[in-house]
Amino acid sequence: MALQAKVSATGKTETELVVHGLQYVLEEMPQQNEDEDRFFALELHLERKLKEYVESLIEARILSFKSSEYSHKDNLIKESDTNKAMPIPTIRPLQVGDRVLILEPDSPYYMAKLSVIRTSLIRATVETDTGEKTFLKRDLRFVEAASE
């Protein structure tokens, strides 16, 4: 009914009016595509800028790290010149006769100083008041070497 009223008001046929309406709708579609293309281009531009910004931050961080590393090495060299008599700590495997502290389970504290009587790759056996007990080496804290 509304279409017939428009036809009589404009003096065009129904077909002409429908074709004109379709042309009007289809002409609006490319504008939407242009908007989408423009937003897509803007998004790409923003991504590119963000990538450049992140890369510059990473590069600045690397450079600052390298420069602080060099200054730290220089400080170490200066300190080593002044303290040449400092002993170098040695790392050696746990041996029978060494005195160790044993970390108590579920506690940050160590038990009494005990003597190692056997060692394996990851475990050490110590002599306690109640007999021999085996512990993981990571739970032991070296105190003093066996007297030779």
pLDDT digits (tens, 9 = 90+) for 33-67: 677 888 888 888 888 988 898 898 888 888 887 77
Q: What is the pTM of this model?
A: 0.37
What's the CA dihedral at 132, 136, 138, 144 to 10 degrees? 20
29 falls in which pLDDT band (50, 70, 90)?
A: low
Residue 137 has pLDDT above 70, yes or no: yes
100 within 8 A of 142, measured Cβ to Cβ:
yes
Amino acid at site 104: E
- The yes-or-no verdict on residue 3 having pLDDT over 60 is yes
Q: Which residues pair with 101 in a beta bridge?
A: 113, 141
pLDDT given for residue 62 in this prediction:
84
d(CA 118, CA 31): 84
Task: Check residue 73 and give its pLDDT.
Answer: 61
What is the phi/psi pair of residue 127, to 5°? -95, 120
Q: Give the orientation angle of helix 14-82 with respect to helix 2-10, to 10 degrees.
A: 110
pLDDT tens column, 70-120: 666 666 666 555 555 555 656 788 889 999 988 877 777 777 788 999 999
